[in-house]
Amino acid sequence: MPSSPAHKRILLKLSGEALMGDDAFGINRATIVRMVEEVAEVVNSGVQVAVVIGGGNIFRGVAGGSVGMDRATADYMGMLATVMNALALADTMDKSGLTARVMSAIAIEQVVEPYVRPKALQYLEEGKVVIFAAGTGNPFFTTDTAAALRGAEIGAELVLKATKVDGVYSADPKKDPSARRYSKITFDDAMAQNLGIMDATAFALCRDQKLPIKVFSIFKHGALKRVVMGEDEGTLVYA
Ligand SMILES: Nc1ncnc2c1ncn2[C@@H]1O[C@H](COP(=O)(O)OP(=O)(O)OP(=O)(O)O)[C@@H](O)[C@H]1O
Ligand SMILES: O=c1ccn([C@@H]2O[C@H](COP(=O)(O)O)[C@@H](O)[C@H]2O)c(=O)[nH]1
């Protein structure tokens, strides 16, 4: 095992849906504490960590609860769901000894500070964890695209998509048990095959910015640390 991290600054996309743990909705306490422990290990090894958190454990603009709603309104609800997750994550981080700052893409200043790029960079240099909330701030996008966008803006060396599956497969492994996992795949191939692990906007932005993505399971103990140490874990998506 290499002794020092392979990356100085990373953008970690944490699945909102994974926050539910075994519950049907919301935030499972043991799950969020375990996720934060994994993040703390990486921060304490000297890596600058920025986080984008999803909202699928509470609300998605395109999911059942939004049927019949105006799409943009539903998407704003989804973005607000990510603010709730960001607050819970920051609270859990602070209690674990990390210093977290939440920055929102939507103005909500009594609750969290607005996203200001130089301020975010300053926090990262100071060793604080920056949690980007409210996605891109725009409807019709996802938090995967927010991860690609913020990752490019802060000069992250890698986007880490920590999700419920352990990599990118030839088909959705939850629907097709015969799906094969790739150890690596190019952005062009992932987009040509229409692989549903991330949306095409996120893939295209990362491809154009030559910002690689690692997809791995947030439920696999130590996987985040192994990715950061440059070890073989999950799937690398590259230009
Ligand atoms: N080709 C594929 N390879 C791997 N997973 C896939 C693939 N196609 C679809 N998926 C599905 O994509 C899911 C992960 O993406 P999704 O955006 O739904 O979740 P998330 O990003 O983890 O959650 P959230 O949106 O709440 O942050 C996996 O749970 C898996 O079932
Ligand atoms: O830039 C964005 C990011 C998110 N949304 C809305 O929020 C939900 C939750 O995000 P997930 O990426 O699905 O976890 C998403 O379904 C959108 O409705 C958005 O509009 N813009």
Query: Tell me: the pLDDT tens digits for 60-78?
Result: 989 878 889 999 999 999 9
Domains held by the chain: number: 1
109 CA distance to ligand 1 middle (Å): 31
Domain carrying residue 64: 9-162+221-233
Q: Which ligand gives the minimal distance to the CA of 189?
A: 1
Copy the structure tokens of residue 205.
């932005």
pTM of the model: 0.97
164 lines ligand 1 (CB under 6 A): yes
**Residue of 197, 216, 217, 218 best suited for mutating to test ligand 1, as the one with most atoms within 8 Å of CB:** 197
For residue 169, give the DSSP letter: B
Question: Cβ(53)–Cβ(84) under 8 Å?
Answer: no
Mean pLDDT of the chain: 97
Ligand 1 atom at shortest distance from the alpha carbon of 55: 26
Query: The domain spanning residue 17 has which CATH number?
Result: 3.40.1160.10
Report the pLDDT value the prediction gives residue 107, as an integer from 0 to 100.
98
Asked if residue 181 belongs to a domain, the reply is no
Does residue 29 form part of some domain?
A: yes
> What region, left, alpha or beta, does residue 230 occupy, with left being phi > 0 and alpha being psi -120 to 50 degrees?
left
Asked, for residue 207, whether it belongs to a domain, the answer is no
Compute the distance between CA of residue 198 and CA of residue 101 in angstroms, rounded to an integer: 26
Provide the annotated binding site for ATP.
13-16, 56, 60, 163, 169, 172
- Asked if residue 200 is part of any domain, the answer here is no
pLDDT digits (tens, 9 = 90+) for 97-129: 999 999 999 999 999 999 999 999 999 999 999
Q: How far is the CA of 52 from the centre of ligand 2 (A)?
A: 11
Would you say residue 135 lies in a domain?
A: yes
- Ligand 1 atom closest to the Cα of residue 161 is 21
Q: pLDDT-based confidence at 3, cuts 50/70/90?
A: confident
Q: Is residue 198 part of a domain?
A: no
Q: How far apart are CA 184 and CA 65, in angstroms?
A: 35
212 lines ligand 1 (CB under 6 A): no
**Within a domain: residue 47?**
yes
CA distance 155 to 88: 26
In a domain, 72, yes or no: yes
Q: What is the pLDDT of residue 36?
A: 98
Ligand 2 atom having least distance to the Cα of 72: 20
| 100-104, strands of its sheet edge to edge | 113-114, 100-104, 129-133, 48-53, 9-14, 158-163, 213-217, 235-238, 184-186
Residue 27 CA to residue 230 CA, distance in Å, equals: 30
Token pair, residue 189, equals 């191939």
Contacts of 96-100 with CB under 8 Å at 24 or more apart are 96/33, 96/36, 96/37, 96/40, 97/40, 98/36, 98/39, 98/40, 98/43, 98/128, 98/129, 99/126, 99/127, 99/128, 99/129, 100/128, 100/129, 100/130, 100/131
DSSP state of 64: G
Q: CA nearest 224: which of 55, 3, 5, 2?
A: 5
Most ligand 1 atoms within 8 A of CB, residue of 12, 14, 15 to mutate: 15
